[in-house]
Amino acid sequence: MAVPNTFDGEIDLGIIGGTGLYHLECLEKLAELPPMETPWGTTSSPIVISKVAGDSGHFHVAFIARHGRHHQYPPSKVPFRANMASLKHLKCKAVLSFSAVGSLQEKIKPRDFVLPQQIIDRTKGIRNSSFLNDEGLVGHVGFGDPFSYSFAQYIYQFKHLLANNDAPDEPCNLHFDKETTVVCMEGPQFSTRAESKMYRMFGGDVINMSVIPEAKLARECELPYQMICMSTDYDAWRDEEEPVTVETVIGNLSNNGHNANLLASKVIEEMANELPEFMKTGDGLRGSIKMSISTKPHAMSKETLAKLNFLFPDF
Ligand SMILES: CSC[C@H]1O[C@H](OP(=O)(O)O)[C@H](O)[C@@H]1O
Ligand SMILES: Nc1ncnc2[nH]cnc12
């Protein structure tokens, strides 16, 4: 059905879908905004505004496909800044992100989900990973706890929903504790066996190619951010097994997509019933940007101020 290409209502939650998750079936489309042009480039996909199907409709979600609708953007070339800037510009109160990951731990089985709380950055410095790294605009945000613990707890209350698995005697689990760590590598090639073993020694639990810079940019936008990692494989550390291939990943995407829909629809329904505290208050991040920017406002160019105003209209 054709929908408008503009939307006047308030938007509550931003969702970024990853590999295999280009839309959420549990959502009813209200509008489709064309890819948004921002001071940091154009978003990777149109932005679909939706509500939960069958819901009364006052809670709105903006959905972006990280790699584009046709998976055109490799992990190193995703327009991460445009994607996050657009969600902030639309006044989302939090960002929920989905990612297909490899497991670095036996107990995290393919098709299990994980709510990481820590990140080890193994990207190679070739991604634009900041809004505050220009001559004329210098800022340093805290990143010690890169995810929103409140948001993760909120999602974790629905862990029982992940009952569905291709192997019925093995239910899917949702793993969550304060130490759970996602390693982010550059890619696009998968890791060698030696690297995979090293990441385990580092304390990594899962691995992907996209949480950096997404999490950093969310923090610079003062947005509570949580990634739901959906395990597809055991990476390359198990000597007796074949290292990960894209076929293995693809083999688990549909089951993971099903569970992502179950979880997302419940989270959104609950948020629509009552907005969680961390979305009302900003999870302790609101106003932090003013303290983080070192450059004196009177020394900022008009262009710099316009960029900042795109993200923070009250700056
Ligand atoms: C096709 S496997 C590697 C690919 O999958 C993950 O994508 P996303 O995080 O967008 O779900 C991983 O980060 C890699 O980009
Ligand atoms: N093993 C792996 N390494 C990096 N990214 C992944 N995404 C899914 N599986 C992955």
Q: Whose C-alpha lies nearest to ligand 2, atom 5? A: 208
- The ligand whose atoms approach the alpha carbon of 65 most closely is 1
- The ligand whose atoms approach the alpha carbon of 206 most closely is 2
Q: How far is the CA of 94 from the centre of ligand 2 (A)?
A: 25
Please determine, for residue 303, whether its predicted confidence score (pLDDT) is greater than 90. Answer: yes
pLDDT for 238 equals 98
Among 169, 233, 239, 283, which one carries the catalytic annotation?
233
pLDDT confidence bin for 165, thresholds 50/70/90? low
pLDDT for 174 equals 97
Full DSSP string of 263-294: HHHHHHHHHHHS--HHHHH-TT-TTHHHHHB-
Note the pLDDT tens digit of each residue in 187-222: 999 999 999 999 999 999 999 999 999 999 999 999
Q: What is the pTM of this model?
A: 0.97
Dihedral sign for Cα 147, 253, 68, 158, please: negative
Ligand 2 interacting residues, C-beta cut-off 6 A? 100-102, 185, 190, 207-209, 232-233, 235, 244, 249
- CA 167 remoteness from chain centre: 27
- The ligand whose atoms approach the alpha carbon of 193 most closely is 2
Torsions phi, psi for 219 (to 5 deg) = -60, -40
Mutate to test the pocket of ligand 2, among 235, 238, 246 (most ligand atoms within 8 A of CB): 235
The verdict on whether 55 is a catalytic residue reads no
Q: How far is the CA of 99 from the centre of ligand 1 (A)?
A: 6
Please determine, for residue 10, whether its predicted confidence score (pLDDT) is greater than 80. Answer: yes
Average pLDDT over residues 37-66: 93
CA angle (177 as vertex; 172, 180 as ends), nearest 5: 85
pLDDT for 228 equals 98
pLDDT for 26 equals 85
What angle do helix axes 211-220 and 80-89 make, rounded to 10 degrees? 30
Q: How far is the CA of 236 from the centre of ligand 2 (A)?
A: 10
Q: Assign residue 206 a region: left if phi > 0, alpha if psi is -120 to 50, beta otherwise? A: beta
Atom of ligand 2 nearest to the CA of 191: 3
**Longest Cα separation, the chain:** 64
The verdict on whether 235 is a catalytic residue reads yes
Note the pLDDT tens digit of each residue in 108-163: 999 999 999 999 999 999 999 999 999 999 999 999 999 999 999 999 999 999 86
Q: How far is the CA of 290 from the centre of ligand 2 (A)?
A: 36
Among 205, 235, 283, 314, which one carries the catalytic annotation?
235
Residues 59, 12 contacting (CB under 8 angstroms)? yes
Q: Whose C-alpha lies nearest to ligand 1, atom 14? A: 209
Average pLDDT over residues 37-59: 92
Q: CA distances (Å), 269 to each of 25, 226, 229, in order?
A: 14, 17, 21
Residue 241 has what DSSP assignment? S
Q: Which of 57, 100, 98, 64 is nearest to 81 (CA)?
A: 64
Q: How far is the CA of 287 from the centre of ligand 2 (A)?
A: 35
Give the separation between CA 63 and CA 73, rounded to whole angstroms. Answer: 16
Architecture of domain 96-308: 3-Layer(aba) Sandwich (3.40)
Full DSSP string of 123-150: --S-S---SSEETTEEB----SS-S-HH
